[in-house]
Amino acid sequence: MIEKEKLLKRTPVYEGKLLHIYKDDVEIGGRKTWREVVLHPGACAIIPVTDDGAVLFVRQYRYAVEEALLEIPAGKIDPGEAPDVCAARELTEETGFRAGSLRKLGAVYTTPGFCNETIHLYLADGLIPAHQHLDADEYLDVVKVPLADVRRMIEAGELHDAKTLAAFAIAGPHLFQD
């Protein structure tokens, strides 16, 4: 049986707007060691499928990897906000569409070796035009990609965003008909 590590002491290293980083002293199997931990409020990501069988992606520059990535719309959960409310909000904010139907696919831990971030994954269809309203520091382009091209891009290794790949791995049987 895997033994749970016991937290002995938590020391703040950095308190940011989004991330909180700690050095935790822990005990496991009678031995003391330490862990670096990043706490994150959680997020939602949505595969928006249009009536004509395409997916709305967003392309945005990601500073940490120094490249523009093609991703499904996503964003962090606000304090006290339910994941489904966050998913609906982020879909509209980033794409300018509301979901006629929003179905939860599941959730994934992004990097459980050091971070507690959970991303809740959704599938949206029956899209209804609304008003796109990006955050003040958000710059992105909405890109419409036919499902056949999405599948080819995944198989060719052209998509690199983990939440996007995880969402399509779960939704694939519902989306990609052979």
Is pLDDT above 90 for 132?
no
pLDDT at position 178 is 59
Residue 22 amino acid letter: Y
pLDDT at position 173 is 84
**What is the C-alpha separation between 105 and 59, in angstroms, rounded?**
22
Q: For 60-94, give the DSSP string.
A: EEEGGGTEEEEE--EEEPPTT--HHHHHHHHHHHH
Backbone φ and ψ for 148, nearest 5 degrees, come out as -60, -40
Residue 28 amino acid letter: I
| Structure-block tokens of residue 89 | 């909000």
| Structure-block tokens of residue 24 | 């935790």
Q: Which residue has the tokens 């606000």?
A: 78
3-state secondary structure of 101: strand
Confidence tier at 127 by pLDDT (50, 70, 90):
very high
Crossing angle for the helix pair 162-175 and 147-155, nearest 10 degrees?
130
Q: What average pLDDT does range 109-122 have in this prediction?
A: 96
For the entire predicted model, the pTM comes to 0.92
166, containing H or E segment = helix 162-175
pLDDT at position 60 is 95
For the stretch 50-106, pLDDT in tens is: 999 999 999 999 999 999 999 999 999 999 999 999 999 999 999 999 999 999 999
For the stretch 27-55, pLDDT in tens is: 998 999 999 999 999 999 999 999 999 99
